[in-house]
Structure 1
Amino acid sequence: MTEEGYFVTYFPSTTPVDTWEDARSAVPIGVEVAMGWGLLLLEKFLEERRGYYQQIFVSRPHNMQALAAVRQNRPELFEGIRLTYDAEALFASRDEVKANLFGDKILLKRAARDRLSELALVTSADQVTAVNQAEADQFAAASGKPARVLGHSVEPMPTEAAFGDRKDILFLGRLADDGSPNVDSLIWYIDHVQPRLDGLLVDQQPLTVVGLCSAPSISELDLAKVRLLGVIDELQPIFN
C-alpha cells in the first residue's frame, strides 16, 4: 500500500509498547507505528485522527470486537471510512473439531456460541476477507456482506539441494500454547507416526522442529526423538 502512495498506520493492539527494533523487524519503514496506544485508547486515537483515514483494515476477532464497540458508540468517528474485517477464518471451527474428536460436550457448546459471536462481528464491517472460499462463503451467508478471498503471497525459493539429496523430516511452526493445533499435531505425530517410521527409514535423525517452542508440553518431549532448534531467522540451510 505504501508503494502505491498511501499513508499507512499500523495500530498494535496486543503489545502497544514495544521496542522500535522489534517493531521495524515486522513493519517496514514508511509505515507509521502507533506505539503506546492499545485497545483501551482506541477510541481516543480515532478521535484525534478523525477525518484522517479512508480505510480501516482490522484483523482477528478480539480486535474487531473492540473496534465494533467504538463504531456503535461513536459512529461519527467512522464517517467516510470503509471498514474491512480480515476475519481469516472461523476460529470456533477448530474447537468444534477438537470437541467432536474428544467427545467434549462443554467445549462443543462453547464453540457453537463462539461461532455465532464471530459471525456477528461481520455485521459491523463493510466487507470481510478470508483465507479461502469456503470460509468466505460462511461469512457472506451469515452477514450478507461482500466476502473476498485474500490468500498469502509467498515467493518460491527452491532449495539448492535436489529432493534426492535431502533427508530427515522438518516441522516448522509456532509452538507457544498447549492445546493449539500446532502443538497438538506435533505431539500426535511423535506419539503415533514416529514409531511407525522408526522401523522403515534407515539412518533417520530425530525430527527437527523450528519455531517458538515455549509450550510446556513441548519442553517435556523426549529429546532423543525430537531436535528443538527454536526460532531461526534464515531457514534456507535447514530446508537444504
Structure 2
Amino acid sequence: MEANFSNERILVCVYYGPNGERLIRRGCQIANMLKAPLYILTVDLAPFDELDAEKVIYIEQWKKFAESHPSAQFIIKDNEKRPVAKVIAEVARQNHITQIILGQTAQSRWEQITKGSIIHALLHEIPFVDLHIISVSRYIRDEEGLFEKGIRAYLVKSGTEYCLTFSHTKDIEYEGIFFKEVGTDFDNGIFRFMNGWETRQVQVTDGIIRDLKNMDLNKIDLNNTD
C-alpha cells in the first residue's frame, strides 16, 4: 500500500550562523520529496528591534528564502521568555507539524540558554512528531579570537574590484556582514554575503575585495556555537 504523505508538514528550527542555510536546504529536500509545506522557525529572547546587525541579516536571508518558495513560510518568535522547546512545540501544534528538523549545533546553543535538553522536552511536549537531529559541521572557525563581532557592511564596485563601505547607497552591489581582524587599524578581515542562495565569504584587504571567489574557511569559525 502506497503511503499517503498529503498530511506531512515540515518545520525547520534555525539558529544564527552558517548552518541555518544547510538545515533549510535539508528541510526543503524533505518537503519536496513528501510534497509537504515547509515552515522555518527561529526563536530569540530579545525583541526584534534590539537584535544586532548580524542576527538581522540572517533573519532577512531566511525571510527571502521563504518568500521565494510558494510552499515555505518563515516564523520568528522574538522577545520570548518561555523555554525554547515550549515555543517550538506551540508552533508545531498551531501548524499541524509532523516532522521537525533541528541542527545539533543550534540545539547545543539553545540548551545553554534554556538549561535543559530540547530533545527530551520536545518528546514530552509533542510525542507524535518525528524529530530529525542533523549533525552540522561548523565551517568557519575562530578559536583564537581572530575576528571582531560582525557588523553590517556593503560592497561597491570600482573597476574590477569592490570597495567595502558601511553606508547604504544606491551604488551598492552586495549587502552582508564584515568581520574585522582583531588588532588592526585597517579594514582587513572577511566579508560574508549571499550570492543567490549561496553564502560566500571573501577576503578583505585594506577595505578592498579583489576577488569574489568563495574562501575555504574550514579552519576559521566566526560563529563558534558550541
Please state which band the TM-score falls in when normalised by the shorter chain.
0.3 to 0.5
TM-score (norm 2): 0.37
- Identify which of structures 1 and 2 has the higher relative contact order when contacts are C-alpha pairs closer than 8 Å and 6+ apart: 2
The structure whose residues are more often strand, as a share, is 2
Larger Rg: 1
Greater helix fraction, Structure 1 or Structure 2? 1
